[in-house]
């Protein structure tokens, strides 16, 4: 049975009016469609993926070949991504048409517990298998860093609520990264499942307790207000210092010394300049670990 929701039906009607028979299927991804989350989880944003026969009729921005659009629908922010079945054949094809990580996206679309079919035909069987998926840990970790950098940027622009939300996204991405780092068969993108996995890894001594505690705090923030301490920026930066220190010690997928980590940040997305400024303050600490 397809997902029945007046808001979603309205969205589907809007997309059908625009793209008609070019649409093969529409899938809902992310927390809005996650039935395992608590009833008080704040679901203001919707993410949907539209699989089309041909990308050419879909408008694109001048600065990218990725096809997407953002909508405002009944006080909800909707992000709509477009792609073809062919794009999922390989990481290289996918990268040309999407901002997201290939492995994460394939897991979301392939597995019914990670996404909801909203319209069209079920294309899951036509997607590549994920049993022996090779994860690009550099890229997945960078996704968490992107949101951390955005959190600092938003906080400096006096947009504290957006800063906190960006930070929670970064922590959730970090949780997924750590889950697959320690268990390559982990296939869930649900926050609840990530939380459960990180708790298990923390109890086994494979994940720092402070990371699990921050994950729990971010989950609380997404459920109820208020959350985080009054000095959110201080606590966030201390958490980021912890992550940099763990990288310097080689406790993640690979060890990154100061020069390498600086270069990694500088060449990731738009350069992650806010994280690089924070890293500069830690140079002596990194040198002491060499």
Q: 142-173, pLDDT tens digit by residue? A: 999 999 999 999 999 999 999 999 999 999 99
Tell me, yes or no, whether 197 and 85 share the same domain.
no
Mean pLDDT throughout 19-37?
Answer: 95
Q: In terms of pLDDT, which residue wins out, 284 or 111?
A: 111
- Does 132 reside within a domain? no
Listed residues 126, 147, 165: the one ending a domain: 126
pLDDT classification of 2: cutoffs 50, 70, 90 = low
pLDDT of 198 higher than 80:
yes
Q: What is the DSSP letter of 37?
A: S
pLDDT of 35 higher than 70:
yes
Dist. CA 185–CA 214, nearest whole Å: 24
Please count the CA atoms within 13 angstroms of the CA of 67 that sit on its side-chain side. Answer: 17
Look up the CATH number of the domain holding residue 18.
Answer: 3.30.460.10
Q: What is the widest separation between alpha-carbon atoms in the chain?
A: 61
Count structural domains, the chain. Answer: 2
pLDDT classification of 229: cutoffs 50, 70, 90 = confident
- Mean pLDDT taken over the chain: 94
% pLDDT > 90, the chain: 84
Q: Which helix (H) or strand (E) holds 289?
A: helix 283-289
- Does 115 reside within a domain? yes
Residue range(s) defining the domain that contains residue 92: 6-126
Dist. CA 154–CA 121, nearest whole Å: 40
pTM value is 0.94
What pLDDT score was predicted for residue 290? 63
- Does 88 reside within a domain? yes
What pLDDT score was predicted for residue 14? 95
pLDDT of 287 higher than 90:
no
Dist. CA 269–CA 72, nearest whole Å: 26
Tell me, yes or no, whether 281 and 145 share the same domain.
yes
pLDDT classification of 63: cutoffs 50, 70, 90 = confident
How many other C-beta atoms can be found within 10 angstroms of the C-beta atom of residue 22? 18
Going by C-beta distance under 8 Å and a sequence separation of 6 or more, which residues neighbour residue 35? Answer: none
């Amino acid at each position: 049975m397809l997902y029945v929701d007046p808001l979603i039906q309205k969205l589907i009607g809007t997309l059908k009016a625009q793209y008609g028979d070019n649409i093969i299927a529409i899938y809902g991804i992310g927390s809005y469609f996650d039935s395992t989350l608590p009833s008080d989880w704040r679901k203001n944003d919707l993410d949907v993926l539209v699989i089309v026969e041909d990308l050419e009729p879909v408008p694109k921005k001048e600065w990218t070949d990725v096809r997407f659009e953002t909508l405002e629908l009944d006080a909800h922010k909707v992000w709509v991504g477009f792609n073809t079945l062919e794009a999922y054949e390989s990481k290289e094809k996918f990268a040309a048409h999407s901002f997201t990580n290939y492995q994460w996206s394939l897991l979301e679309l392939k597995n019914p517990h990670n996404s909801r079919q909203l319209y069209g035909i079920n294309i899951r069987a036509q997607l590549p298998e994920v049993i022996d998926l090779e994860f690009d840990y550099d890229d997945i970790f960078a996704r968490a860093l992107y949101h951390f950098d955005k959190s600092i940027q938003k906080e400096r622009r006096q947009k504290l609520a957006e800063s906190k939300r960006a930070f929670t996204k970064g922590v959730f991405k970090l949780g997924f990264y750590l889950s697959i780092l320690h268990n390559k068969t982990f296939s869930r993108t649900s926050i609840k499942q990530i939380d459960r996995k990180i708790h298990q890894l923390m109890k086994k001594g494979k994940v720092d307790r402070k990371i699990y505690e921050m994950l729990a705090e971010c989950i609380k923030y997404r459920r109820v207000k208020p959350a985080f301490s009054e000095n959110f920026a201080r606590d966030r930066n201390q958490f980021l210092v912890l992550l940099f220190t763990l990288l310097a010690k080689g406790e993640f997928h690979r060890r990154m010394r100061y020069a390498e980590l600086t270069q990694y940040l500088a060449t990731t997305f738009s350069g992650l300049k806010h994280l690089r400024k924070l890293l500069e303050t830690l140079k002596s600490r990194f040198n002491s670990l060499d």
